[in-house]
Structure 1
């Protein structure tokens, strides 16, 4: 006997929801395994693609790894061409930073047209490495990850630098540092020009904070990527995806009470009352003197009242 239409739709919806949950669980486990070991073993590209699988649960990372490899191969071929030309002329040393960076920019900017997405800056796709590779546009941090991963495969070491409001990459050598802004078509900058750019973005006068010049670890880069994405989802009132991102953040920051509080509020938005109360209690245990403790306690009281009514 055929199932009535409404029952079939409900069964199909439940099956789809279960499939999404199991896909998310696999993502969390893979992400936990990846970031739970030694900092130096974290594969940034793999982690970035796992983040993207929150929105694209059927994402196959292999074609994207192959894409990164192919881009790096083109950079290597370009450097080999420069070496051949150098042997015949008095061209600059091909190991000079400007030559290496020129090869990266030639492939990624001039030929492939990767660029910053200024028109649709807050689109979540700008935070996903798979979509950046497909659409050739993204945020400063995801374009910087692209640069770092292509450079690594081409034998060039770049560092991620977390300037406020604007992520960039840096090449360090014996004579100093060169900063590259992938969001601005691979523009090259020195420290003074980086500061000028920050002042322009924030419309405030700043002095260089030494912390801004620190090379960020893979873990810190992932935290910044996830925070950007969580903010975007919350701004779009997409609390379900924001919750998934918050879960990933807590894998990186298991003792971050503020992140646990935020996840509690996301559970509350989604009417997951028991989980919301658990996270908010956890926040108060970690931060008993928090400035917002009375507000959080009030939320817990309201949750208890809702649960009592439901029972």
Structure 2
């Protein structure tokens, strides 16, 4: 798969409704978009095995236990404690090979298998640490893909929220801490991680690619185009930055003044 082919897949995914969003294939396309011409079949094989094994466990265990045991025990998916910042931990193809990754990358397999098995599960965009919410007969519970899918108790969620800087009033609100996000937003969270890392490393080409993926995955959001423009400007690609700002200006949003100001600033440099 080429980078252009990956962009085509991401464009189609961005046009899909949330209920039909192709999480696994979109995640594969994101990985190929970063590093083209790789074989994505190991990802599909792992995902297929996860679906089959979870289907066997359903009924004999609670949905949260079945999901955690399938992913962590059967398939050995876990967080990479020793090399947390390694680039492979954010790449779904590398994650499938190493069985190690960041929570948002591991969650792709959790969410894909849960949906195939008919479980009600969703990502939780928790501050600093992505988790998976699973609906059970006793109410929703949070699983941590990075820690062998273990159950995260409400008291621990509150402690984590306080450490992340949330106010006590918010940290006590489980409805806020466990608010579900769509599969699209789950994958965008992973691209945000990649963007932040690339910016810190002054890898503006990588930052541009991750921002572009966000823009394609959520075509109604103007903010990724601002990040595309910023990354292109830092590379000296002013015409490309102008094009991205034009895309941002064409979308409704609360930052119209900022977009217009940035557009004029880059236009002045270009001229």
Give the shorter-chain TM-score range. Answer: 0.7 to 0.9
1:300 Cα offset (Å): 3.6
Q: Which has the larger radius of gyration?
A: 1
Q: Give me the whole-angstrom Cα distance separating, in 2, the residues matched to 1:136 and 1:129.
A: 10
2:206 counterpart SS class: helix
1:52 Cα offset (Å): 0.6
Question: Does the Cα contact within 8 Å between 1:148 and 1:157 map onto a contact in 2?
Answer: no
Residue from 33, 51, 63 that aligns with 1:54:
33
1:133 counterpart SS class: helix
Gaps of 5+ in 1: 1-21, 81-93, 305-311
Output the TM-score relative to the length of structure 1: 0.74
- Determine whether 1:124 maps to 2:87: yes
1:47 Cα offset (Å): 0.7
- Determine whether 1:269 maps to 2:234: yes
Residue from 215, 223, 239 that aligns with 1:250:
215
Question: Does the Cα contact within 8 Å between 2:229 and 2:242 map onto a contact in 1?
Answer: yes
Aligned to 1:137: 100
- Determine whether 1:301 maps to 2:264: no
Aligned to 1:161: 124
Aligned to 2:18: 39
RMSD of Structure 2 on Structure 1 (CA): 2.8
Question: Does the Cα contact within 8 Å between 1:69 and 1:153 map onto a contact in 2?
Answer: no
1:200 Cα offset (Å): 3.4
C-alpha spacing 1:106/1:257, structure 2 compared with 1 (3 Å): closer
1:282 Cα offset (Å): 5.5
C-alpha spacing 1:294/1:35, structure 2 compared with 1 (3 Å): closer
1:202 Cα offset (Å): 4.3
Aligned to 1:6: none
Higher relative contact order (CA 8 A, sep 6+): 2
1:28 Cα offset (Å): 0.9
Question: Does the Cα contact within 8 Å between 1:177 and 1:190 map onto a contact in 2?
Answer: no
